[in-house]
Amino acid sequence: MNTMGRLWIETGSLFVGGLISWLPFPAGAAPHLIADVNQRQETIGVDPSEMVSVGGRVFFTGYDRVHGRELWVTDGTEAGTRMMKDIRVGQQSSWPSKLRVVGTRVFFFADDGEHGLTLWSSDGENSVMAGGPSLGSYVYLDGPPIAAGGLLYFAVSNSPNYPHERSLWRSNGTAGGTWLLNPAERDGQFFFQQPFRYSNFLTEMDGGLFFANSGRELWRSFGMRAETVKLADLGTGTQITAMAGENGRLWFTLSRGAAKELWSWFGGVAAMVATIPDGALVGGEMTVREGRVFFVASSPEAGAELWTSDGVVTRRISDIRTGTQSSYPWELTWCGTTLYFTADDGITGRGLWASDGEQTWPVKTWPDGAAPSKLVTSAGVLFFARNVAGWVLWRSDGTETGTVPVKQMTTPQTTSGEQGLMAAGGTLFFKGNDGLTGDELWSSDGTPDGTGMLRDLKGTIDGLVGISPGGVAAWGNELVFCGDDGISGEEPWRSNGTAAGTQILMDVHPGPSDSTPARFAAAGGKLFF
């Protein structure tokens, strides 16, 4: 039973969140709750988010009341779970975000309170500022940062020096190695004073960065300006819409007016592979495995479904939602040689599906309408989450009978935001909330007994604050303690063992701010603290 934050009474004694104080109360009464001081039902945890894995450890952003939101790291043990650095010293947060793994380091954006939101990197022992542009209300990242060849690449929009343009940056994690990568070709000459226009779809392949520029141009960079070259100009009126690569072959889709096309770049040559039926939508989900590309495309007769190509034959694998309506395959995720995804067959709703590249089949559907999401592979097992009266962690071996729930991740009252499933070293990490400790870091080995909170990083905030021997005192026939009713902050309270007799003694620091009383002591009929 969680007694934190409440006053309990038993025969001749008063329980104070686990601390027993003896007072002369009538004997024979059953234990009962005296007063719920803080009725906000507030349990606040570290609220882990943006988890990434590198070197057998998981980095994430976490919050506590002393340091605010900062970068944390865990090796899967309680002792190995700690805050990396208080980048913005004090209670204010540095708000780490956009965590990306580059080699053995983690790159992220954070605000130290002096330089604004800028690029940082960490090796798990030290965190350093890499610099680059300061992001703010009008300067922002245009798409997710991408790691390639030991560097981090990111596009920035509306830089003060280049308004209404997208400037492309690269960084090796140091201030000296973070700079603008912006050649613009004019009459065979490179001019570095202007950024790329509309650089997007940043994609890593074979240590290089491939990206689209101005919609129609395909470029590649190895991090140096002299190594940043245009590979192809696909012509006026085209728009690249998706990109993925493997083993020297880049696949991408584009729109050319009403026509939709699948292309590849291989051996230094960009060539069209196939034309998708007129009127079809192409883009979004795309993945590559063993020389074949899998992507979502739409045709007039079947809607948006799963397609594949080996460079010779391009075809729709199957029509999951029979007819012209779309099943919209989503979250394409490999587990072994099987491609898993979610899709809507129009009858049972959005369920878990799989494909071997030749055909597709339903793994499991649910009549309650709660769709699976957050698909991730850990130790050769597919995990995902479903929200039915709170988030529940599931696992699947690709069969209906082998698709089973593992454990409840949150309660209906504590469901909040992204659960952030992340695999590292054969263990699954995610955000969980048992209703007592708030949003905390959980882990799972795929079994119910092996799934639970890794560590209570922040603790529960309830009404009773002072529970240490110095935090309570007997004062005559009353108990005094540090309490928080959610209105006056942490202040001195008193109780005679009844609900009516449990009340604030004084709002020492008026308003919601805390006075944080401690070290209570009674002497000569007076109370000192």
Pairing label, strands 440-444, 19-22: unpaired
Q: How far is CA 123 from the centre of its chain?
A: 20
- Domain tally, the chain: 2
Q: Contact at 8 Å (CB) between 54 and 84? A: no
Residue with more model confidence, 521 or 114: 114
Q: For the chain, first and last CA: distance in Å?
A: 30
Domain boundary among 210, 233, 256: 233
Domain boundary among 206, 233, 260: 233
Q: What is the DSSP string of 158-186?
A: EETTEEEEEEEEEE-SSSTT-EE---EEE
Mean pLDDT of 134-142: 73
Burial letters 98-116, b for 16+ CB under 10 A, else e: bbbebbebbbbbbbbeeee
The pTM assigned to this predicted structure is: 0.70
pLDDT at 433: 82
Calpha distance 377→379 (Å, rounded): 7
Confidence of residue 421 (pLDDT cuts 50, 70, 90): confident
Question: Considering the domain boundaries, does residue 117 fall inside one?
Answer: no
Calpha distance 123→522 (Å, rounded): 52
Mean pLDDT of 244-263: 90
Domain boundary among 233, 252, 274: 233
Closest to 443 (Cα-Cα) out of 60, 44, 71, 169: 60
CA distances 377 to 57, 244, 275, 428, 450, Å, are: 16, 19, 33, 9, 17
Among 130-134, 174-178, 467-471, name the most confident range.
174-178
| Residue 205, token pair as written in the block | 């392949």
pLDDT at 504: 85
pLDDT at 497: 58
Alpha helices in 61-201 (DSSP H): none
pLDDT at 402: 95
pLDDT at 218: 92
Q: Contact at 8 Å (CB) between 173 and 223? A: no
Question: Considering the domain boundaries, does residue 212 fall inside one?
Answer: yes
Q: How far is CA 501 from the centre of its chain?
A: 45
Question: Considering the domain boundaries, does residue 184 fall inside one?
Answer: yes
Q: DSSP letter for 446, please.
A: S
Range of the domain at 27: 7-42+464-528
Here the contacts of 375-379 (C-beta below 8 Å, separation 24 or greater) are 375/331, 375/333, 375/340, 375/341, 375/342, 376/333, 376/421, 376/422, 376/423, 376/428, 377/333, 377/334, 377/335, 377/423, 378/423, 378/426, 378/427, 378/428, 378/446, 379/423, 379/426, 379/427, 379/445, 379/446
Mean pLDDT of 300-309: 92
Q: Which residue has the tokens 């099943």?
A: 327
Question: Considering the domain boundaries, does residue 427 fall inside one?
Answer: no
Question: Considering the domain boundaries, does residue 129 fall inside one?
Answer: no
Confidence of residue 332 (pLDDT cuts 50, 70, 90): very high
Backbone phi, then psi, for 525, in 5-degree steps?
Answer: 80, 0
Mean pLDDT of 465-488: 66
| Residue 391 identity (one-letter amino acid) | W
Question: Considering the domain boundaries, does residue 335 fall inside one?
Answer: no
Residue with more model confidence, 5 or 343: 343
Inform me whether the pLDDT recorded for 169 exceeds 70: yes
Q: Contact at 8 Å (CB) between 355 and 307? A: no
pLDDT at 306: 94
3-state secondary structure of 469: helix
Strand ranges (DSSP E) for 314-357? Answer: 314-316, 330-335, 338-344, 350-355
Question: Considering the domain boundaries, does residue 120 fall inside one?
Answer: no
Q: For Cα atoms 175, 181, 184, give the angle at the middle one, nearest 5 degrees.
A: 155
pLDDT at 23: 46
Pairing label, strands 57-64, 478-484: unpaired
3-state secondary structure of 200: strand
Mean pLDDT of 478-499: 73
| CA R_g for the chain | 29
